[in-house]
Chain A
Amino acid sequence: MDYLYAFLVGGAICVIAQILMDTTKLTSGRILVIYVTAGAILSALGIYQKIVDIGGAGATIPLTGFGHSLAQGAIKAVKRDGILGAFTGGLTAAAGGIGAAIMFGYLMAIIFNPKTKP
């Protein structure tokens, strides 16, 4: 059952982006920036956690989920460490994903070459 909800929620989040791309001139980079920021704001307002409760990975795998984990990390760290947590919490929570993206991204870019276009 969680697969069905992940599919539906994840698919719906992607459809919103597709509509934005087709009806406006927003490029994919701008969409990703909007998504991560929107995810952080919705998370701070307590809305995104509800979407995660329903959609599971369908809500955490899209980039809005990245914003959600940044925002929740900051809030939790503030509870624990006070004002310092605002600065450390977000990156601490997202460190796994960002670290993996940098290392795997670098490795793959070194190992592989772009496919020559015919």
Chain B
Amino acid sequence: MILVLRNNDINLQKDYQKIVKQSTPRPTIFKNCILAFITGGLICDVGQFFLNYFKSLGIDPIQAGTPTSIVMVFIGAFLTGIGVYDLIGKYAGAGSIVPITGFANSIVAPAMEFKREGYVFGVGARMFTIAGPVIVYGVTSSIIIGLIYYLLRL
């Protein structure tokens, strides 16, 4: 084998790279997209169910979004706690990340993981590994938008 390597070093490397390329599974983007579409759509339908329910209670349609978000956040956090959400995420990809349940997942998962580092800097800090940046960029954008709107109205 060593002899072969010396003699056909370059050829062998090329062959090896070819084999690696062939046997590495190509990212099956199409399949991922179908799975993301279905799970994302289904999660939104669960949200639609609660939205309709809160509207049927006589809550103003614009206000009904808030209790819907709260219920969906609870579901996402609970399913992450019992380990189900990560199972869904294995197949769903972005379909489980982008909905607000995925936002809840991004809070609970690292917080659980780092519990051994304590309740303040383990749980308390790690909760915001992803939620922190999201809130920072979201709130900052909203303030800038508010200021621009204020200036345009002057």
Contact = CB atoms under 8 A, between A and B. Distances in A.
Nearest to A38: B141
Nearest to B111: A109
Contacts of A106: 111, 123-124, 127
Contacts of A56: 48, 51
Interface majority SS on B: helix, strand, loop or mixed? helix
A100 B45 contact: no
B5 to A, nearest CB: 33
Interface residues of B, number: 78
Given A21-B94, A70-B141, A105-B104, A57 B45 contact: yes
Size class of the contact patch on chain A: 35 or more
A62 B40 CA distance: 8
Interface majority SS on A: helix, strand, loop or mixed? helix
Contacts of A86: 143, 145-147, 149-150
Contacts of A60: 47, 51, 65, 68-69
A97 B66 contact: yes
Interface string A59-102: 01111111101110111011000110111011100101110111
A78 B144 CA distance: 12
B143 A109 contact: no
B25 interface: no
Interface of B: 27, 29, 32-33, 36-45, 47-52, 65-70, 72-74, 77-78, 80-83, 86, 93-95, 97-104, 106-109, 111-113, 115, 119, 123-124, 127, 129-131, 133-135, 137-139, 141-143, 145-150, 153
